[in-house]
Amino acid sequence: NAGVTQTPKFQVLKTGQSMTLQCAQDMNHEYMSWYRQDPGMGLRLIHYSVGAGITDQGEVPNGYNVSRSTTEDFPLRLLSAAPSQTSVYFCASSYLLRTDTQYFGPGTRLTVL
């Protein structure tokens, strides 16, 4: 069982470049989310989705776009990368119940020069 997968594992970008971080889950979870992890700040929610076609902003959404065309996939797009977006990015998924545990992907380490 693959669980939550993320690609790539590492990425280096130049300021102004765009890219998409991929996230996929094979557990038929309705809820998917993106977090970023910065030193001393824990994980902060960027965007989330409660089902295909439905997305909403989290705590730190600026500079990021998401879409949810299928239940399985939830890509995160950086339209014009900035050094402030250097971080480790985690995707997570769960069933749409407060009782359920969120399962995390292995993370993507992004560096913006």
Site of interaction with another protein (CB under 8 A): 31, 33, 35, 40-45, 48, 50, 56, 58, 88, 90, 92, 94, 96-99, 101-104, 106-107, 109
* H helix and E strand count, the chain: 0, 11
Q: 49, 75, 44: which is closest to 61 by C-alpha?
A: 44
Least distance (Å) between residue 43 CB and another protein: 4
- Residue 54 or 113 with smaller CB distance to another protein: 54
Least distance (Å) between residue 53 CB and another protein: 16
- Residue 28 or 99 with smaller CB distance to another protein: 99
Characterize 58-81 residue by residue with b for buried, 16 or more Cβ atoms within 10 angstroms of its Cβ, and e for exposed. bebbeebebbbeebbebbbebeeb
- Residue 7 or 80 with smaller CB distance to another protein: 7
